[in-house]
Amino acid sequence: MTKAERQAYQQELRLAAKRLGLAAHGDMETAIVNHAVGKVRAWISAHGQPSNLSDLLELVATSLNLEIAEIHSDADLNALLQRIPPNREPVLARLANELDDKTDAIILQLQHRQAWERPYLAAINCRGWHSFRKYFSKWHEVVHLLLDGAQLRFAFRTTHVKRKHPEEVLVDKIAGVLAFYPDLFDPVLDEELQRGGRLTFAVVDRVRSRVAPDASRHAAVLACVRGCQEAVYFIRAGLGFNRSEKHMLEDSIPSPSDEQNSPVAKLRVRETTANSAAQALGIRIHHNMQIPAGSIAATAFDHPTRSVQSGSELLETWRTSQSGPVGRGQVEVEALRVGDEVWCLVTPATVRSSRQSVGAVPQHFNRA
């Protein structure tokens, strides 16, 4: 975040805190997240604990008087407009034009609802690639309504794919917590870690199947990484170029010799996520750094038809072009080809199971 972005975000935190009756100073973000978790906890106390997070989402939506409508096709949209016709609710006339490929969801307040209809409606874009985001999109809209409290500020609100507005950033942070509500998610994660010994893709898939069936696999991996008490890194990598190669490709004038002289795309980091225990180790896997050619990750990428690849390797082989090795010591790597990417889980060679306190950093796994 730039300084201006941080200031804008702090101002959004103050406004949200005041709407919710919280202190508009100190660690407002934590206070707001805790307030949201507390509301959910109160609803569970009143209605009983759901069996999984999808049921929890329905409980929270019902408690907020919100109907959630999934739009997978034009037929779904037409069915919604027949059930709630625009000549009764004129605001729905905007749905067809605004629920486009740049939009994840739209939430609106019905002005002329029937007695049996809920006052709020969230239309979730489930067309094409948006279907992978639908679970989180639903939670995002729920949090918008929850943050407004008694001071409703909208009749029609669009949630775009790219979200930089401070309010959208805050909503995403809260939704990330509630979508994997710790009271339901953490016990299942702990049980599966007891079985598996460390975080693996098999553990993630079992946790997802048991408690978060509607979450995308990517979101489930991130949630498991955050919830794991042992140090673990999640890395997504794909073919790409470094900065100088990008400039060369953008600035060059095509010629017959281009094929021989043009740079070759290499396997590079697209996303890296480290949990708090991993951050404490001081290891930094940088965005766009090259994946070692001999690594397990590279093997998994080069053999897309194989199953998960796993094994041990030295962290010294993971190097940046300017700073050298990102760390020293042995790590366990599990890698899986997913589409045009490879996903990796990287952990220190010594791990402990269950939700134990994190002790001293292993001697064999040190920051460079």
Q: Please tell me which residue, 364 or 74, carries the higher pLDDT value.
A: 74
pTM higher than 0.75? yes
The residue range of the domain holding 15 is 3-178
> What span, in angstroms and rounded, lies between the C-alpha atoms of 56 and 124?
17
Q: Each residue of 24-39: pLDDT tens digit?
A: 999 999 999 999 999 9
Q: Are residues 189 and 238 in the same domain?
A: yes
Q: Are residues 129 and 258 in the same domain?
A: no
Q: Are residues 200 and 317 in the same domain?
A: yes
Distance of CA 226 to the CA centre of its chain: 11
Q: Contact at 8 Å (CB) between 283 and 346?
A: no
pLDDT for res 238: 94
Indicate the residue among 120, 146, 178 that finishes a domain: 178
pLDDT for res 260: 58
Closest CA to 148 of 37, 18, 31, 10: 18
Q: Each residue of 153-180: pLDDT tens digit?
A: 566 677 878 878 898 999 999 999 999 9
287 confidence band (pLDDT: 50, 70, 90): confident
Q: Are residues 147 and 238 in the same domain?
A: no
Q: Are residues 117 and 194 in the same domain?
A: no
Q: Are residues 210 and 159 in the same domain?
A: no
Q: Please tell me which residue, 97 or 224, carries the higher pLDDT value.
A: 224
Q: Is the pLDDT of residue 257 over 70?
A: no
Q: Are residues 143 and 191 in the same domain?
A: no
Q: Each residue of 300-357: pLDDT tens digit?
A: 999 887 789 999 998 888 888 777 788 888 899 999 999 999 999 999 875 333 344 3
196 confidence band (pLDDT: 50, 70, 90): confident
Q: Contact at 8 Å (CB) between 110 and 121?
A: yes
Task: Please state the domain count of the chain.
Answer: 2
Q: Are residues 149 and 240 in the same domain?
A: no
Q: Are residues 256 and 161 in the same domain?
A: no
Averaged pLDDT of the chain: 86
Q: Is the pLDDT of residue 9 over 80?
A: yes
